[in-house]
Amino acid sequence: MVASGTPGTTRAVGTAGARDAVVQLEHDVRELVRRRGIDPVRDVASLEALVGAVLADYDDRALRGDVPQLEDAGAARRALHDAVGGLGPLQQYLDDDEVEEIWINSPAQVFVARHGRPELTTTILTHDQVRELVERMLRVSGRRLDLSSPFVDASLPGGQRLHVAIPDVTRDSWAVNIRKYVVRATRVDDLVALGSLTPAAARFLHASVVAGLNVLVSGPTQAGKTTMLNALAGSVPPRDRVITCEEVFELQVPVRDVVSLQCRQPNLEGTGEITLRRLVKEALRMRPSRIVVGEVREAESLDMLIALNAGVPGMCTIHANSAREALTKLCTLPLLAGENVSAAFVVPTVASAVDLVVHLDVDADGRRRTREVVAVTGRVEAGVVETADVFRERDGRLVRADGFPPHPERYARAGIDVVAMLVGAHDHATAGA
């Protein structure tokens, strides 16, 4: 970790003299990279070879007494690799599996989140370093950031999601967020092992995805919606074809036949933008067995509902504070698509298109948990979508409620007796109580 008050570009490598040596070595490596036309991000092997050659030459000069010896050659090698091929002072956090997110409020305030809890690091940067790091990240993504476009959303080569905002949208410093998608769950059973889902609820959700029910995953920020969506996608039958639609790539769906689509920003002339609405429409032309939408926030919710009503099973996420609020929000967002879209059309469409809502939350200690699983019956009463609790939280535990999911015939076609499954879950919950 870079020492507090030291705007260095590398991990700790020893004394001030050693750090100065690493700075010079970094300059030498960068010069060789420029001369040989190497892409240090993509061509890792060539970068490693250059770093090795530069360090070997330095060792020879150190033996002759021309330069000071490095106290830790291994640390120096990592530092050079981070500075030239990685993200310099931030690379140590990207390499740390416990770090879930990195954000910069100002050059002197670099935060990370571990297990849902934020920490202020001792890393100190400069304004120029922040700009250089952002430019390096965007160079790979092909997206731009300037006064006419002061926000950017991009995907990094390692799968991390980058968001940046610059002045004068921010007060005086660049605001940078790097969200790491740590794949901790590729199946619902993994969520059971993590303690965020009970075995009975996991069996039910697995059966529901196999049967082809449409699932909406809701929750606040950092509640684990993308992780849950990815785990649910792991229950998709192996012969199904999955099309994913996202603002930037985050999902890593563990199926063989998958096509991943992401949005595109407009170019300098203001043309060429690909919106999430467009992706959902195009996905229907790609022979999908399933459609997975990373998150609905605006008018694309209408296109998603139309896709689900077309008979293509699907899943998506939405920000909400409860399962019922998620349905209410889904009944409102499609109205943004145009004045000709009315609640009289949207509400019954939501009732018929969405089958289950899985609501997640995060505790004060950062633990992610499933709070409720709600079934949508398909009926509307006084303009309100009717629901039934399948699982709900009681005394801090997710237990079986009294509701049943819609479309029992779909479960039957998949060879699943959903009534027996849920009755058994109810009996087990009663015995446990």
* Residue 406: CATH number of its domain: 3.40.50.300
Q: Are residues 235 and 288 in the same domain?
A: yes
Q: 200: Cβ–Cβ under 8 A, 6 or more apart, which residues?
A: 391, 400, 424, 425, 428, 429
Q: Are residues 209 and 286 in the same domain?
A: yes
Q: Which domain holds residue 105?
A: 90-179
User: How many other C-beta atoms are found inside a 10 Å radius of the C-beta of residue 60?
Assistant: 11
Q: Are residues 370 and 225 in the same domain?
A: yes
Nearest to 370 by CA among 182, 244, 205, 252: 205
pLDDT reported for residue 13:
45
pLDDT reported for residue 64:
86
Decide: 318 and 217 in contact? Cβ < 8 Å.
Answer: yes
Q: Is the peptide bond before 95 cis (omega within 30 degrees of 0)?
A: no
DSSP label at residue 274: B
pLDDT reported for residue 183:
62
Q: Are residues 255 and 127 in the same domain?
A: no
Indicate whether 362 belongs to any domain: yes
Amino acid in position 89:
P
Q: Are residues 210 and 293 in the same domain?
A: yes
Q: Are residues 58 and 99 in the same domain?
A: no
User: How many other C-beta atoms are found inside a 10 Å radius of the C-beta of residue 336?
Assistant: 13
Indicate whether 77 belongs to any domain: yes
Q: Are residues 76 and 114 in the same domain?
A: no
Distance between CA 398 and CA 29 in Å, rounded? 55
- CATH assignment at residue 103: 3.30.450.90
Residue with tokens 């305030």: 109
User: How many other C-beta atoms are found inside a 10 Å radius of the C-beta of residue 379?
Assistant: 13
pLDDT reported for residue 379:
95
| Phi and psi torsions of 37, nearest 5° | 65, 35
| Phi and psi torsions of 215, nearest 5° | -120, 130
Tokens found for residue 403: 């509701």
pLDDT digits (tens, 9 = 90+) for 235-273: 999 999 999 999 988 888 888 899 999 998 887 777 888
- Please, how many CA atoms are within 13 Å of residue 282, restricted to the half-sphere of its CB? 14
Indicate whether 1 belongs to any domain: no
Q: Choose one of 179, 199, 234: the last residue of a domain.
A: 179
DSSP strand pairing (258-262 vs 242-246) = parallel
Q: Are residues 115 and 237 in the same domain?
A: no
Decide: 293 and 315 in contact? Cβ < 8 Å.
Answer: yes
pLDDT reported for residue 16:
57
Decide: 225 and 219 in contact? Cβ < 8 Å.
Answer: yes
Terminal Cα distance for the chain, rounded: 48
Q: Choose one of 152, 179, 206: the last residue of a domain.
A: 179
Indicate whether 355 belongs to any domain: yes
pLDDT reported for residue 3:
36
pLDDT reported for residue 428:
58
Nearest to 411 by CA among 270, 313, 287, 345: 313
Query: What is the per-residue burial (b if ≥16 Cβ within 10 Å, else e) of 192-219?
Result: bebebbbebbbbbbbbbbbbbbbbbbbb
Q: Are residues 42 and 113 in the same domain?
A: no
Q: Are residues 287 and 375 in the same domain?
A: yes
Q: Choose one of 179, 207, 234: the last residue of a domain.
A: 179
Total of domains in the chain: 3
Indicate whether 164 belongs to any domain: yes
Q: Which residue positions in the chain have pLDDT lower than 50? A: 1-14, 431, 433
The DSSP code sequence of 140-196 is: HHT---BTTB-EEEEE-TTS-EEEEE-TTTSSSS-EEEEE------SSHHHHHHHTS
Query: Nearest-5° angle of CA 232, CA 233, CA 236?
Result: 105
Indicate whether 399 belongs to any domain: yes
DSSP label at residue 268: T
Q: Are residues 102 and 197 in the same domain?
A: no
Length reported for the chain: 433
Indicate whether 11 belongs to any domain: no
Phi-psi region of 274 (alpha: psi -120 to 50; beta: other; left: phi over 0): beta
Work out the burial of residue 222: count CB atoms within 10 Å of its CB; fewer than 13 is exposed, 13-18 middle, 19 or more buried: middle
Distance between CA 122 and CA 102 in Å, rounded? 13
pLDDT reported for residue 17:
59
Indicate whether 7 belongs to any domain: no
Q: Are residues 292 and 343 in the same domain?
A: yes
